[in-house]
Amino acid sequence: MLKRIISAVVGIILLGYTINIGGWVFYAVISLLNICALYELDNAFAKKNIRISFFISAIFAVMLLYFARFNRFDFVMTYLFIILLLMCEFIYIIIINKKPDHIKDIVFSIFSFVYTTFLFMSMILIRNLKGGIHITWWVFITTWACDTGAFFSGLLLGKTPLAPTISPNKTVEGSIGGILSSVVASTIYSIYFLPEISVLHAIGFGICISVVSQVGDLSASLIKRYCNIKDFSNIIPGHGGILDRLDSALFSFPVAYVIIVILFQKGGLP
């Protein structure tokens, strides 16, 4: 437990420095995390005899993050990147390697790219927004509040299994506790650091982020169960891998970006 706490404190300090400094440092760190996440999925799926195209996916991920870094991003470009990646996968696996029976590798390569890169791309896009430092922390804190609230609520009150075939320890009571914790954290944070956000928006944000963050957590658990592994890696002492630590954020950041952009367009944010 001590190792886990120390790792968490050090990680938060480093994360705080990276978020606050922004710029190329933030881009470099996020790109490195994306590459590490892809590498973890590559190792995980290898245990099922599935080989994703790690290097091709990593190159495309870094390129897409580069465009996001300079605000040269839209969903059409993201779609284009996925199509180009799919074409490269077909050329590499079917034409160069001459392995037409490895179509599953292509599918899992595309999945791994989208599954990881959308998270990290959304982090950069949110950090690029006006007031991006506070908004980025808003998403992180709301997500972490869900994790913490779900853990303690499940520990104290948990009786009804939430998804026993995926994660036996998660309960409905814990899930509800996570949602309530996110709502409280989102509202309190917005009052002090984002006063332009209405309480109603903050509550709605907390509910949405808590729900999708729990889906992200379950999705990572499903992959680990499919691959018969406990953790994606051991790069973070006491926590496992990058995806083990950021599993809840996998969907919360992409969804948060869409919500925040809608609020911008409707005047909810400056």
Give me the residue spans of the domains in the chain. 1-128, 131-270
Give the largest CA-CA distance in the chain.
59
Sequence-ordered alpha helix ranges (H) in the chain:
2-21, 23-46, 54-69, 75-90, 103-128, 132-157, 172-193, 199-227, 242-246, 249-265
Q: What pLDDT is attached to residue 206?
A: 97
User: Rounded CA gap, 233 and 19, in Å?
Assistant: 24
Q: How far apart are the first and last CA of the chain?
A: 42
Q: What pLDDT is attached to residue 172?
A: 94
Q: Is the pLDDT of residue 85 over 80?
A: no
Q: What pLDDT is attached to residue 87?
A: 76
Say whether 270 sits in a helix, a strand or coil.
coil
Question: Which pair of tokens denotes residue 123?
Answer: 């982090």
Rounded to the nearest angstrom, the gap between the alpha carbon of residue 71 and the centroid of all alpha carbons in its chain is 20
Q: Are 45 and 106 in contact (CB under 8 A)?
A: no
Classify burial at 71, counting beta carbons within 10 Å of its beta carbon; exposed 0-12, middle 13-18, buried 19 or more.
Answer: exposed
Say whether 3 sits in a helix, a strand or coil.
helix
User: Rounded CA gap, 125 and 68, in Å?
Assistant: 6
Residue 5 pLDDT class (50, 70, 90 cuts):
confident
Residue-wise pLDDT tens digits, 99-121 = 655 678 888 988 999 999 999 99
Residues 6+ apart with CB under 8 A from 212: 251, 252, 255
Instruction: Specify the amino acid at residue 207.
Output: I
Q: Are 26 and 127 in contact (CB under 8 A)?
A: yes
User: Rounded CA gap, 96 and 133, in Å?
Assistant: 45
Q: Is the pLDDT of residue 77 over 90?
A: no
Residues 6+ apart with CB under 8 A from 136: 19, 123, 126, 127
Provide mean pLDDT across the span 185-204: 94
User: Rounded CA gap, 158 and 142, in Å?
Assistant: 21
Q: What pLDDT is attached to residue 104?
A: 84
Q: What pLDDT is attached to residue 268?
A: 47
pTM: 0.89
Q: What pLDDT is attached to residue 8?
A: 73
Least confident of 13-27, 30-44, 171-185, 254-268: 254-268
Rounded to the nearest angstrom, the gap between the alpha carbon of residue 235 and the centroid of all alpha carbons in its chain is 17
Residue-wise pLDDT tens digits, 208-234 = 999 999 999 999 999 999 999 999 988
